[in-house]
Structure 1
Amino acid sequence: MRSFRAWAGLIVSVVGAAVLLAMFARWQGQFDLHVYRGAVRSWLHGDGLYTYRQQGMIRSFGFTYPPFAALVLMPLAVLPWRVAEMLLALASLSGTLILLWHRLRALLPVLTGAVLAAATEPWRDTVTVGQINLVLLTMVGLDLLFVLKRHPAAGALIGIAAGVKLTPALFILYLVLTRRYRAGLVAGSTALVTAGLGWLFAPDESRRYWTHLLWQTDRIGDVTIAGNQSLSGAVHRLHAPPGVWPALVVVVLVVWAFRARKAGTLPDDWAGLALTGVAICLLSPFTWVHHLVWQLPALLILLDSRASGRRRHWFRLLAAVVYAVLVTALEWRFADPGTLGYQLGSNVQVITGLILLMTVPVNTTTASVPVPSRSNAAAPMAQSLQR
């Protein structure tokens, strides 16, 4: 009966995802992959990493990552286009399956989860725009969920991810905050090494990036557009006073630190991954919608929570609401400031992010399991032997 329900759930998920993709998906033309390849090739030909511009629909965009990222992305620049496109998509899909398997440990739930994830706007945009978000999420997830408990090099993957794209650096603070000092030291040192490699192989580009370009957030895009689902974007769209954004950043950091510290102390690094991923999206000066793949672990925890009673039902209801927002690209329907409900609709992903930060359950995978007393402590062993 369980097998039938699992297969039925997979079939329904596939059909539902196909309908959702047909209704809401937009092909992005691998735009960011074009930027990666063009900028790296420009650098290799001596024309500069940050001088290259790829023309979009409204404006042109250039390379916004540290020079070390160019070294990592070099294979995608030199390989044939179709090979690079397929490799990046395969890496994104493989990373999704790896993280789902670590959490669910069963084939049909993993396949169902992958189908449902692929229907969300952040996942499908990451793949169709040719982004590396899912690869970085997988690296951080593997470090926290697997390497951290087994290897003295724990933290190295987080450091590399932070060297490619600065936002994962918050996970270094997570390691320190949760008293995994060795892993935090490894992660921080690795991040510094990546910066050093950038200076070694691209000294002029490194000087330009770290002293000038890093602080130009307008290079990423117009901070007020609905595609920027960060606190900064929400504050600018609402025309709030200048001091509001720093105050909100402090509040989010305090809430994140309190909840992340609890998650790491237990330890529940799945919750730590989810909470820090949500915080990254909120705190970053610019959070494109495809960056919200960092929120998917929080959604998975809500759906897979072992909490009992009403809490479990509330978690699943919240997951359904957040999933609906992630699938329908709701924020783009309120992109015009003259639209009724603009103040709420254009910031919907920011609102759900704040809710997730406060509600993601910590350690519910074990909280509902009763602790055996001395009199019946041997019962589980006896039952397993009888099987």
Structure 2
Amino acid sequence: MTIAVSAAIAVVEFAVHRGSELWAVDLAVYRAAGAALSDGHSVYASPSGKLPFIYPPFAALLFAPLSLPSLPVAMIVWNTIEAACLITVIRLCLQHCGMQGHRRRLGWAAGSTVLALPLTPVDVDLMAGQVNTMLVLIVLWDLLRSGARGQGIGIGIAAGLKLTPLIFVVYLACTGRIRQALWAIGAFGATIVASFAVLPSDASTYWFSKVFRINPVSRPQNSYNQSLRSVLARLLGTARVTEVWLVAGSVVGVLGLGAAVLLYRRGAPLAGACLCAFTGLLISPISWEHHWIWIVPMLMVVGTVAWKARSVVAWTVVLVSVVVFTARLFWWGVPHQAAGELHMSVVQQLFAASFVIAGGVMMGWTVWSAHRSRTSFP
């Protein structure tokens, strides 16, 4: 069922979005890196007119096969994999939310994936041919297999593909899982060693230069960037917000990780993982709309509590969050030019920060509810 539904989703996404501005924009970058690797060229020498490859060189090894078929075929194959990952993510969440029966979970996961397609992070992830859903699956699978041998290796490998999962290494350490954190560090280090062994020049370029650039592809105030740094740039009317962002990000990082650790220690590992992920999205220098794919497991956490507690407030949080993460408020009525983004009205500021605001509200409600409610969190 998983492959059939995933392939159907990939074909529908292909038919609906082909020709749009964002169609396959990221997959094209992955393919270019894979082609460069096959041809013996640098993966960081982007062809003119394409976005640069800003991932660790280890990721190019994963993307190399994508350069072999034509772009349409590669897009359908890749989105079949991404959709299958999303189905599996939801099935994992359903298992930890208490749903019994493998077939029942699989059926609900397939149906829920179809319902999740209008969510902006899901839609843009598939439209652009992104890798985010795969990373969410690797991280969640690793975090939720509590006590398993080698726990943390998945997180380390995910970080080798894209640096953002590194926050989960800190999360493992803060929750007292030191051995698992060391496994993650070891696996991450192994991806770096492998990169230097296979791609020594590109590895040197990335790890000694590109990794220190916090603004490699976009201006800080970009309205599509749903991170704390971007919100601060628009609020303060200047792109030079590094110092303020570092202070504010440190505060948010400590509070967010603290809340995630609290939930984990109260027996809510899925909720803790989601809060850690949201913290990472808030404090990251760049969090595009598709990076917020973690909204899917977060909605399942809040939805489970709403269902168990029959809570009107919880259902309100779910419904409002679905609207915000579907409506694409920062796409409409918001300037998308460098100067205009620094001079927004109050309403435009709210629209441009919609994911940040909604994510913060969901985090705050989750912590507050877990403290006051007798309903158990997954």
After superposition, the Cα gap between the structure-2 partners of 1:86 and 1:161, relative to the gap in structure 1 and judged at 3 Å, is same
The change in CA–CA distance for 1:34 and 1:313 in structure 2 (over 3 A counts) is same
SS in 1 for 2:305: coil
Match of residue 68 from structure 1: 58
Deviation at 1:27, TM superposition (A): 6.4
| 1:66-125 residue CA offsets vs partner (Å, 9 max, x unmatched) | 101111211222344344222221121111111222233435543442122111011011
User: Does structure 2 conserve the Cα–Cα contact (< 8 Å) formed by 1:277 and 1:295?
Assistant: no
Residue deviations 1:150-199 (CA, integer Å, cap 9, x gap): x2111111111000000011111111111112211111110011011111
- Quote the residue 2:330 is aligned against: 331
Question: Cα–Cα, structure 1 residues 352 and 220, in superposed 2: closer, same or farther, change >3 Å?
Answer: same
CA contact (8 A) 1:27 1:128 kept: no
Which residue of 1 is the match for residue 366 of structure 2? 360
The answer (yes or no) to whether the contact 1:226–1:334 under 8 Å persists in 2 is no
Q: Which secondary structure state, in structure 1, belongs to the residue aligned with residue 287 of structure 2?
A: coil
**TM-score, with structure 2 as normaliser:** 0.83
Q: How many angstroms apart in 2 are the aligned matches of 1:322 and 1:217?
A: 29
**Structure 1 residue 339, shift from structure 2 partner:** 5.9
Residues 54 and 126 of structure 1, relative CA distance in 2, 3 Å threshold: farther
Cα offsets for 1:204-226 (capped at 9, x unmatched): 11111112111223322222111
Q: What amino acid is aligned across from residue 132 of structure 1 in structure 2?
A: V
> Could you say what the CA RMSD is over the residues aligned between the two structures, in angstroms?
2.6
Take 2:358 and 2:20, find their aligned partners in 1: how far apart are those partners?
A: 22
1:94 matched to which residue of 2? 84
Gaps of 5+ in 1: 1-17, 370-387
1:252 counterpart residue number = 252
- SS across alignment from 1:198: helix
Partner of residue 302, structure 1 = 302
Whether 2:281 is the aligned partner of 1:287: answer: no
**Map of 2:29 onto structure 1:** 35
Which range moved further: 246-255 or 124-133? 246-255
Q: CA distance change for structure 1 residues 225 and 154 in 2, over 3 Å: closer, same or farther? A: same
Q: Please give the secondary structure, in 1, of the residue aligned with 2:261.
A: helix
Decide whether aligned partners of structure 1 residues 101 and 186 sit closer, same or farther in structure 2, where only a CA change above 3 A counts: same
* Residue matched to 2:261: 261
Gaps of 5+ in 2: 1-11
1:298-350 Cα distance to aligned partner (Å, 9 max, x none):
1221112157657x221221111111111111111143136642222111111
* Contact 1:61 1:219 (8 Å CA) reproduced: no
Superposed displacement of residue 263, structure 1: 2.2
Matched residues in 2 for 1:43 and 1:102: separation? 35
Equivalent in the alignment of 2:118: 119
Contact 1:307-1:368 within 8 A present in 2 as well: no
Task: Tell me if 1:198 matches 2:195.
Answer: yes
Residue 14 of structure 1 is matched in structure 2 by none
Q: Alpha carbons of 1:235 and 1:83: their partners in 2 closer, same or farther (altered >3 Å)?
A: same
Residue number in structure 2 paired with 1:276: 276
Bigger radius of gyration: 1
**Does structure 2 conserve the Cα–Cα contact (< 8 Å) formed by 1:220 and 1:286?**
no
* Offset, 1:244: 2.4
Q: 2:218 — aligned with what?
A: 221
| 1:232 aligned to which of 229, 232, 236 | 229
Work out the CA distance in 2 between the residues paired with 1:108 and 1:152: 30
In the TM superposition, what are the counterparts of 1:142-161 in structure 2 within 5 Å? 142-146=141-145, 148-149=146-147, 151-161=148-158
CA distance in 1, matches of 2:47, 2:291: 21
Cα distance in structure 2, aligned partners of 1:109 and 1:207 = 46
SS of residue paired to 2:173: helix
Q: Equivalent residues in 2 for 1:51-62 (5 A)?
A: 51-53=45-47, 55=49, 60-62=50-52
**Separation in structure 2 between the aligned mates of residue 342 and residue 363 of structure 1, nearest angstrom:** 33
The one-letter code sitting in structure 2 at the alignment partner of 1:86 is I
Q: Amino acid of the residue matched to residue 274 of structure 2?
A: A
2:174 is aligned to: 177
1:126-158 CA-to-partner distances (Å, cap 9, x unmatched) read 011000000000111111123x33x21111111
**Distance of aligned partners of 1:318 and 1:54 in 2 relative to their CA distance in 1, 3 Å threshold:** farther
CA distance in 2, matches of 1:367, 1:73: 46
CA contact (8 A) 2:309 2:375 kept: no
- For residues 118 and 48 of structure 2, the distance between their equivalents in structure 1, rounded to whole angstroms, comes to 27
Match of 1:133 in 2: 132
Give TM-score, length-normalised by structure 1. 0.81
Say which of 345, 353, 360 aligns to 1:347.
Answer: 353
Cα distance in structure 2, aligned partners of 1:222 and 1:359? 32
Structure 1 residue 44, shift from structure 2 partner: 2.6
Residue 170 of structure 2 contacts residue 181 of structure 2 at CA under 8 Å; is this kept in 1? yes
Query: Which residue identity is paired with 1:319?
Result: V
| Structure 2 CA distance for aligned equivalents of residues 54 and 325 of structure 1 | 36
Question: Which of 207, 210, 219 matches 1:210?
Answer: 207
Query: SS of the counterpart of 1:52?
Result: coil
